[in-house]
Chain A
């Protein structure tokens, strides 16, 4: 049998990120919220490392430099994986819990009124861009907590699951074994529980992995537009180019991957490496989930 490289790569990367999520906070060298404003001294004035006029990577203290308000980037990256992972997993589970029952119900009752109604609603909801809906709903609340993110992102993405299970259930309903089971006197619930639902377990891991990557990308896009976990925090400081105290960054009090992509216009000039490194971490994580999903699809595919 041919070796399934995508599954191997995906599993290794996913386990790596799980490990970082669990132990990352203990191996981080610094407190991720501590701002180092006094380590650089140029002509008697102290600067935040990233806003000083020399290259970022020369300090021995910070292997990856600091972010644009002067916090150690390596510690922040190590801390940031956990909240992002928890949000993604929570969102995917919420979507599954809404989408699977609705999809199975509407697929099973597709001839009746309620099935048709759910079907129409899902087919309308699926064409709404998730980014726009998420933006609008999260902006309604002033608070940016984990529960709000899970609630909103879980509420908007379930039509994908629902449509998939709708089609599957509608196909299964036509099969012979369902008819035979009815003929033997089983009730609808018994047929669903014993014969239809077990058919879904083999495709479920694939679907979950792809959904995880989609949610992570959505969170990255939201972060870019300025919506991230944690309360907004405007940091003021001295800029080497102007003597006055100016706002040097809009960030969050919790380290989070989406937040590291926010405030793009300032970071482009003050700390472009922060964008690049956070982007690399997000890319690797999305890639891990995609590879895992594709590998699982090939592993569980019976036609091979």
Chain B
């Protein structure tokens, strides 16, 4: 266990500076620098100049008059709120749906549940979000309501959580729909097929023929055997949640780092207020570093949890 964690941590410590450098170099080589009237690469210097400024002066650079570390710290926690909540939904609901869709009588997937899961996993979350927005907009326009029945932009206005600028309220609902629906059903689908394979094995038949209840067979025998792959799967589905973060934050104006990311990578002629973020080397380097930290840490946690959950993994090392 200690060996696994230390190897993975060393890998993270090795990868994060590389990501930081890659982000910086990416922005320096971005085509916007070579356009007439674009940014001046000389103003930023090489990557090691920037690294020196961080280490010796504690200066992360600035965008539009604001220090990057101050600009990014609160949005990072705001994004973290979305990620934590959607991962909780994905983990709990995904496994639960996967369990429900197995029929105790046949030990196979229920056909209807299978159809629903397949159809649901085919809907991209942002299309669902778009349809919900369309419904809300048209209901407000033509239904004669004075306000929408779900807030469509921004995040909670109450007393903010520590280190963030958002509070938890109904603003969370729509972004979470966009983020969580497809990963949840993906986890459900894989859980179901893993369970189905596991339930065909002989030890399950033995337990059933000895008269053990269905729930007991599931909890005591089958679930323990599929737990480790499911944890690894949850760790992998985090990358879809982080990718969806870009879309959900753009769609619902959630003040997180995903929006910064999109503004800094895609040129949009219409968002002139955000154009100062576009291809900003120091900002992109910071964002890559933060996203990489998030993903690699989650990967470490998932690997450690799977290792702790399944004794068979310990045999191999």
Contact = CB atoms under 8 A, between A and B. Distances in A.
Contact of B118 (A127, A141, A291): A291
Interface residues of B, number: 51
Contacts, number: 115
A184 interface: no
Nearest to B125: A221
Given A128-B239, A142-B31, A221 B247 contact: yes
Contacts of A120: 11
B242 A224 contact: no
Contact of B299 (A127, A287, A291): A127
A127 B295 contact: yes
Interface residues of A, number: 45
Interface string B255-274: 00000011001111110000
Interface string B209-251: 0000000000000000000000000011011101110110011
- A interface secondary structure, majority: helix
Interface in A238-260: 247, 250
Among A136, A141, A226, A290, chain B packs the most CB atoms within 10 A around the CB of: A136
Interface string A209-251: 0000100010011001111000000100000000000010010
Interface stretch (B52-60, B89-97, B126-134, B306-314): B126-134
B200 A303 contact: yes
B131 A276 contact: yes
Interface string B95-127: 000000000000000010011001101111011
Among B130, B242, B268, chain A packs the most CB atoms within 10 A around the CB of: B130
A126 B232 CA distance: 12
A290 to B, nearest CB: 5
Contacts of B114: 6, 294
B133 A135 contact: no
Nearest to A287: B122
Contacts of A282: 124, 127
A231 B130 CA distance: 25
Given A124-B11, A272-B137, A294-B118, 18 more contacts: A120-B11, A127-B239, A127-B295, A127-B296, A128-B295, A129-B291, A135-B265, A139-B266, A140-B30, A225-B250, A227-B266, A247-B270, A269-B137, A275-B127, A275-B130, A276-B131, A279-B130, A283-B124
